[in-house]
Amino acid sequence: MTTQKTLIKADCWLFSNLLREGRFSVPWYQRYYDWKTNQVQELLLDIKEAVKEKRDCYFLGTVIFVEEEPGHWKINDGQQRMITFSLTCAALCRKFAHETSDSQREGMALRILFDLDQNMACSLDNAQSYTSRISPQRDDVVWYQQMIRGNAIGTNGTITSAWRIIDEFIASQKPEESEEYFDFLLQKLEIACLKVPPEVDPNAVYETINCRGKRLEDLDLIRNYIYSHFNADQDSERKDSVHENLENIHTFFSGRAGSERASQYMRCHLQSIFGFLRKDSFYRDVRKAIANQTQESSELAAEYVHRLTEKVADRKSLCLFAETIIASNPNPDFTRAFNIDCRKTNSKRNLVVFLQELRGYTVTQPLVFALLTAYLSETDNLQKKQVAEIVHKNLSRLTTFVLRTAFVAPKFEPSHFEAEFSDFAKKITWEEEIPDKKFAEFLLDCDRQNYSVLNDSNFRKAISEMNMRGGNKIKQLLMGINRHHQRGSQILNDRQLTVEHILPKSDRHWGSWEGFYEMDPSEWINRIGNLTLLGRGEDRPGDKGNANFTKKKEFYKDSTLIITRQLADCEEWSPKQIKRRQADMAKCAVKVWRFTP
């Protein structure tokens, strides 16, 4: 049988050697350089970690070239990596030339960047006359040529933004760090290269590589990293156990929004173990956290990740997160048991209320998870009740801080609290006793750095003077106030409620609202005192009902919500009435979201 030669040639190269093989250009139909600064930063830091860990290689994926003529290739896929690599070499070259006087490494970098004979003497000072090995897309050419020649550049464009990140990164290194980093780039950075002859459609090759199967996500990368700790034959039992644990997580979430929920769970759980893990570099931060715990030996590392997978795959933890913490209807068996243990069964501020109030604030998940896990893990019945009481107190404090902040702040910014919340969740996980006073002090410290809403007078004053927009925020405030006044009411689902403006939003109704004559009604429509709630199925006023307050009261008097029903007792509706109602609501809000140090 005759062996058919393949048309596409595949080889693995050191990236530095590949560039020295010829010249490369980005075809006119390819997009411009478009890596964002965070992607550039990710690659630089990832390689830095590889250098620190003294890895044997760093694999940078696959590039696809189409031969245009001997020694000249068009880049069909991989221009972002090739240009980023070359710019990194250019920044290092400039450092070797102007700061460390390392002419040997300067020459090596220049031979990567420019089409130069390997034995030719060269220097960055003469780079204006050299021919570059890479030609980017036409709009990027001028900037690129200036950067690799060590010239000053402007600040216009994505490629110049990438250069600033690279330049700052290299400039921050000590001379010996730059040398080690450069040597790693030359000797350890590998890339797979597919060379496609002109008669084969390179785009078909590209689509096959990039559009078949699914892109590796953070969880896949973490999974592969964990598997890398098990190579020896004697690890077969633990390997099977680790694989089963990771599969259990995948199976559990497969019917619950899949990888998105699994990733959310993993980040929540791992932050309660390791502290803050950035969302945009989750995999790398997890890898670093595991590496910090497993430096002594490979055997200890294998045992550690084995125990870690058992912990995150624990069925109770999975159910706690999916069925209680993020569920729209929290697990009734769990919440009932918790409320009984902390003696808050009939309380208006029990676990179900806390979970409902915090559901929209994912930044709180590691703290809630750590607190409820501490309760769940306690086996002594008497001690479990004591733990439940402390957990309840801390959840009350947390919801008070988060909701008071959300009500007062123009926009609730999770980034203001994410690192602090996750790091404190780690403290809860690892301390022998659940922090009580320390938890209060922690939240007070967070508050001092932001809006000082835990001061009752500050909070009451802000609420009594506010306009408020945003349906979810308004609902939370009004639901809490209604719950405080309404006896024996069931916990309301915010999805079954709508926000009602007593003075209508539409200016076509304002003419018949006598209380606002000689006033600008638009200044009052979003005042908290002008807002209330209507339940599902309750009549909406509509055009006829909005004609004046007298007609509108007819729709309010039969409402199931007391804060709406009370409006029927008002004689008129005016700015004076709105101010009085808002002041009362502010006093009530302080009582509802009381902070106990």
Question: What are the pLDDT digits (tens) for 522-576?
Answer: 999 999 999 999 887 776 777 767 888 888 888 888 888 899 999 989 989 999 9
The confidence score (pLDDT) of residue 297 equals 65
- Give the C-alpha distances (Å, rounded to integers) separating 467 from 180, 278, 504, 530: 58, 34, 15, 9
Q: 340 is written with which tokens? A: 């009984």
Tokens 């430096």 locate to: 295
Q: Which H helix or E strand runs over 461?
A: helix 456-465
The confidence score (pLDDT) of residue 164 equals 92
Mean pLDDT of 119-129: 89
The confidence score (pLDDT) of residue 206 equals 66
3-state secondary structure of 286: helix
Q: CA-to-CA distance for 567 and 556, rounded, in angstroms?
A: 7
Q: How confident is the model at residue 267 (pLDDT cuts 50, 70, 90)?
A: very high
Buried b (16+ CB within 10 A) or exposed e, 59-88: ebebbbbbeeeeeebbbbbbbbbbbbbbbb
pLDDT at 330 exceeding the cut of 50: yes
Rg (the chain; Cα; Å): 31
Contact of 324 with 334, CB cutoff 8 Å: yes
Residue 466 amino acid letter: M
| Domain boundary assignment for the chain | 9-211, 218-313, 318-452, 461-592
Q: 80 is written with which tokens? A: 């972002």
3-state secondary structure of 10: strand
In terms of average pLDDT, the best of 217-231, 405-419, 503-517 is 405-419
pLDDT at 1 exceeding the cut of 50: no
The confidence score (pLDDT) of residue 166 equals 94
Specify the length of the chain in residues.
597
The confidence score (pLDDT) of residue 233 equals 61
Beta bridge partners of 320: none
Q: CA-to-CA distance for 375 and 556, rounded, in angstroms?
A: 43
The confidence score (pLDDT) of residue 16 equals 87
Query: What 3 state SS string does 327-383 have?
Result: CCCCCHHHHHHHHHHCCCCCCCCCHHHHHHHHCCCHHHHHHHHHHHHHHHHCCCHHH
| 191 vs 426 pLDDT, higher one | 426
Of 527, 532, 524, residue with least CA distance to 561:
532
The confidence score (pLDDT) of residue 195 equals 83
Of 93, 104, 105, residue with least CA distance to 149:
93
Contact of 148 with 97, CB cutoff 8 Å: no
Tokens 């003497």 locate to: 121
Contact of 388 with 338, CB cutoff 8 Å: yes
Q: How confident is the model at residue 226 (pLDDT cuts 50, 70, 90)?
A: confident
Residue 535 amino acid letter: G
Q: CA-to-CA distance for 88 and 49, rounded, in angstroms?
A: 16
| 581 vs 194 pLDDT, higher one | 581
Q: 217 is written with which tokens? A: 């996500």
pLDDT at 405 exceeding the cut of 70: yes
Q: How confident is the model at residue 3 (pLDDT cuts 50, 70, 90)?
A: low
Of 457, 449, 439, residue with least CA distance to 399:
439
pLDDT at 503 exceeding the cut of 70: yes
pLDDT at 385 exceeding the cut of 90: yes
Q: How confident is the model at residue 272 (pLDDT cuts 50, 70, 90)?
A: very high
Q: How confident is the model at residue 508 (pLDDT cuts 50, 70, 90)?
A: confident
pLDDT at 331 exceeding the cut of 90: yes
User: Out of 83-92, 246-255, 359-368, 394-403, which region has the weakest mean confidence (pLDDT)?
Assistant: 246-255
E strand spans, 96-157: 134-135
| 136 vs 153 pLDDT, higher one | 136
Of 508, 505, 504, 518, residue with least CA distance to 552:
504
Q: Cα(first)–Cα(last) distance of the chain, in Å?
A: 84
User: Out of 487-491, 504-508, 517-521, which region has the weakest mean confidence (pLDDT)?
Assistant: 487-491
pLDDT at 391 exceeding the cut of 90: yes
pLDDT at 319 exceeding the cut of 60: yes
User: Out of 20-29, 369-378, 587-596, which region has the weakest mean confidence (pLDDT)?
Assistant: 20-29
Q: How confident is the model at residue 313 (pLDDT cuts 50, 70, 90)?
A: very high
Q: How confident is the model at residue 212 (pLDDT cuts 50, 70, 90)?
A: low
The confidence score (pLDDT) of residue 535 equals 84
3-state helix, strand, coil in the chain (%, to 5): 60, 10, 30
Residue 263 amino acid letter: S
Average pLDDT value over all residues in the chain: 88
The confidence score (pLDDT) of residue 509 equals 84
The confidence score (pLDDT) of residue 240 equals 81
Q: How confident is the model at residue 489 (pLDDT cuts 50, 70, 90)?
A: low
pTM of the predicted model, to two decimals? Answer: 0.74
